[in-house]
Structure 1
């Protein structure tokens, strides 16, 4: 097995830190959300979690927190990968934002915003590695959105 780069480890450690920070809760700005809106955003958060789980199940044992693709990995373009190049990240982003809104937590929404910036950088790095490994990746990227489906192709 190929050794992971320092950059791979940095991305994984930072992602773990973001998850730990998200689990905390601090009141930055107090606001309220209606019971109906709270339920709606909890459902949306659940859908985000489900989307990530479907993506993980579709790549099964090849899932890894590291951006470098595994040696035995094949280019995934079917299922949830037909809609987004990084559906696991998409689901996590939806979960983070929606749960933060459902909890009326400015702190969680702030963490989600910073995580969004971080995950974009990680995805860009990952895509650079995927383009090197898979010649068809460039064409796939032109047709498929990074985190959400492309509306215009």
Structure 2
């Protein structure tokens, strides 16, 4: 069972995430820059790919999928499939789709909302990872070898 404070924070994070996604969609597009047709098409493909990545990531969690970043009683540490490339493929897919959508819209305001969404997901993932490390003995080793969102390790 999760402490009450964790449940409250988890719900806040999910509410903020969906609020920013909603804002990204309802904020007027255009008036920022002209978007060439080829870029719009490429972005549409990336939106579909992002949604697909989200779906695959969610499906592979099975009964462990929750609406909040708190693992439920069915959760298992997933390190295969998309989880072998990134720790948070659902967030990866969301970020890919949201970025492509914002770029294709030609809206500076949507780009600002996108930056806020990226910052929120970064914080949400870090918060979630603390709870996952508490729940799963192998999580720290998995996190050390697997990137968070982008399936490329950047050397420091």
**Is TM-score (shorter-chain normalized) higher than 0.5?**
yes
Please list, as runs of the form range in 1=range in 2, the aligned pairs for 1:90-105 lying within 5 A after superposition: 90-105=92-107
Identify which range, 135-144 or 107-116, moves more after superposition. 107-116
1:117-132 pair list within 5 angstroms: 117-132=119-134
Q: Which residue of 1 aligns with 2:63?
A: 61
Cα pair 1:97 1:108 within 8 Å, conserved: no
Deviation at 1:28, TM superposition (A): 7.7
TM-score by length of 1: 0.91
Alignment map for 1:37-116 (pairs within 5 Å): 37-116=39-118
Question: Cα RMSD (Å) of the superposition?
Answer: 1.8
Counterpart contact for 1:28–1:107, Cα < 8 Å: no
Distance 1:88 1:72 in 2: 18
Q: Deviations over 1:8-47 (max 9, x none)?
A: 1111211121122112123585210111111011111111
Which shows bigger deviation, 86-95 or 61-70? 61-70
User: Aligned partners of 1:111, 1:120: CA distance in 2, in Å?
Assistant: 14
Per the alignment, residue 21 of structure 2 pairs with: 19
The residue that corresponds to 1:138 in the other structure is: 140
After TM superposition, the score normalised by the length of structure 2 is 0.90
Aligned equivalents of 1:27, 1:132: Cα separation in 2: 42
Answer with 15-24 or 50-59: which moved more.
15-24
C-alpha distance in 1 between matches for 2:30 and 2:81? 39
What 5-or-longer segments of structure 2 have no aligned partner? none
Q: Which runs of 5+ in 1 are unaligned?
A: none
